[in-house]
Amino acid sequence: MILLFLLVIAAVIGKVVSSYNELQKRAQTIREKASNVQVAISKKLALVNQLIDVVKNYQEGEQLVQLKVSEDASASHMASSYQQSGAVLAVVQGLADRFPNLKASEQYHRLVDSIQQCELNIQDNREKYNLAVKDYNTLRVRIPTIFIAKSLGFPEAPYLQFDVSGVNESTSLQEFKTDDGERLQQLFSGAGNRIVDMAAQAGKAGRGLVDKVVDASKNDGSGTP
């Protein structure tokens, strides 16, 4: 009975470890894809800043604020930066339509072409990120993983929802953080203590049963003529 109980516990622990490792693997893939999106967005911000400098050179009276390039790779910050770059780019392009000498500039066209190419790269990386999120979230809601994912520190991963217009739903995005191993250690520590306690109780019960059998045997022996 004790052996069967220990085998069941070992199977459960094995499944927990397997699920944890797979979730952690896919979570790391999401972080990698998020980093690629952030790099692409940062490149676009840098190019837009260069375009702003070109506009200032041609139209010194125009006051345009330089976009801040950040290493923050949270989903909400990436969507915000992307939306900001789209808004500033729209203003710059509006100025170019008003000033023919700016729109005819070779430097202006070169930067606009680079930004458009960068935009394609952003969308490509965003799609790859969302595919990684889909794989992770699909695994997370499978049985039996769904019953342990949250307790192991693996929340639902957010999708990046923005397009070439810069529109996004930033209110639906949250920072993606997963367990660093602490919860798993706590879980195994608690499980280990419970196994030891249950094994001890089972041992006491077994010894008690043996004692009863011995006492019963002695009583039977004393009552025999």
129 in a structural domain:
yes
Residue 1 CB partners (closer than 8 Å, separation 6+): 202
Residue where the block lists tokens 């005819």: 104
DSSP codes joined into one string, 54-72: HHHHH-TT---PPPPP---
210 in a structural domain:
no
The answer to whether 176 and 153 have CB atoms below 8 angstroms apart is: no
10 in a structural domain:
no
Instruction: Quote the number of domains for the chain.
Output: 1
209 in a structural domain:
no
85 in a structural domain:
yes
Helix (H/G/I), strand (E/B), else coil: 118: helix
Question: Long-range contact list for 123-131, CB < 8 A, 24+ apart?
Answer: 123/163, 123/164, 125/33, 125/36, 125/37, 125/40, 126/37, 126/160, 126/162, 128/33, 128/36, 129/30, 129/33, 129/34, 129/36, 129/37, 129/160, 130/159, 130/160
Q: In this predicted structure, what is the pLDDT of residue 170?
A: 39
Q: What percent of the chain has pLDDT over 90?
A: 15
**145, two tokens:** 């993983």
Q: In this predicted structure, what is the pLDDT of residue 124?
A: 94
Which of 5-14, 18-27, 89-98 has the largest mean confidence? 18-27
Q: What is the tens place of the pLDDT at every residue in 45-72?
A: 889 888 888 887 776 655 666 666 665 6
**Residue numbers of the domain that contains 154:** 23-178
Average pLDDT value for residue range 128-147: 91
Rounded to whole angstroms, the Cα distance separating 154 from 107 reads 47
CATH number, domain containing residue 33: 1.20.1440
Average pLDDT value for residue range 10-22: 82
Average per-residue pLDDT for the chain: 74
217 in a structural domain:
no
Q: What is the tens place of the pLDDT at every residue in 141-196?
A: 888 888 888 888 888 888 887 655 544 443 333 456 665 555 555 555 555 555 44
151 in a structural domain:
yes
1 in a structural domain:
no
**8, two tokens:** 């069941």
C-beta atoms surrounding 91 within 10 Å: 13
Residues composing the chain: 225
